[in-house]
């Protein structure tokens, strides 16, 4: 397995931590699941863009993690 470090804005990182906490998973598990779901269906640039556009906005992450 390759290690990868991704830098995220603080509010996005807090949101991801909130989602992970709510699902009783690690931040890494949630991040891998979300990234994997972007690539599982179709790997065309258009498909990835459509999937990214469906992601909740950072303000929704904050509400989920509060």
Q: Is residue 1 included in any domain, yes or no?
A: no
pLDDT at position 26 is: 92
Q: Is residue 6 included in any domain, yes or no?
A: no
Q: Is residue 22 included in any domain, yes or no?
A: yes
Task: Work out the mean pLDDT of the chain and round it to a whole number.
Answer: 76
pTM: predicted TM-score of the whole model, two decimal places:
0.54
Q: Which domain holds residue 38?
A: 11-65
Q: Is residue 5 included in any domain, yes or no?
A: no
* Cα separation, 22 vs 37, whole angstroms: 19
Give every CB contact of residue 15 below 8 A, 6+ residues apart in sequence.
Answer: 58, 60, 61, 62, 64, 65
Where does the pLDDT of residue 3 fall: very low under 50, low under 70, confident under 90, or very high at 90 and above? Answer: confident
Provide the number of structural domains found in the chain: 1
**Does residue 59 or residue 35 have the better pLDDT?**
35
Summarize pLDDT for 26-51 with one digit per residue, the tens: 988 988 888 777 666 556 777 767 77
* Cα separation, 63 vs 19, whole angstroms: 10
pLDDT at position 25 is: 93
DSSP string, 14-59: HHHHHHHHHTT--HHHHHHHHHHHHHHS--SHHHHHHHHHHSPPHH
């Amino acid at each position: 397995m390759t290690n990868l470090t991704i830098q995220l804005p603080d509010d996005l990182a807090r949101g991801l931590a909130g989602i992970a906490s709510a699902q009783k998973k690690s931040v890494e598990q949630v991040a891998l699941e979300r990234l994997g779901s972007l690539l599982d269906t179709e790997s065309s640039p258009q498909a990835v863009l459509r999937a990214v556009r469906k992601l909740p906005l950072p303000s929704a992450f904050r509400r989920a993690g509060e």
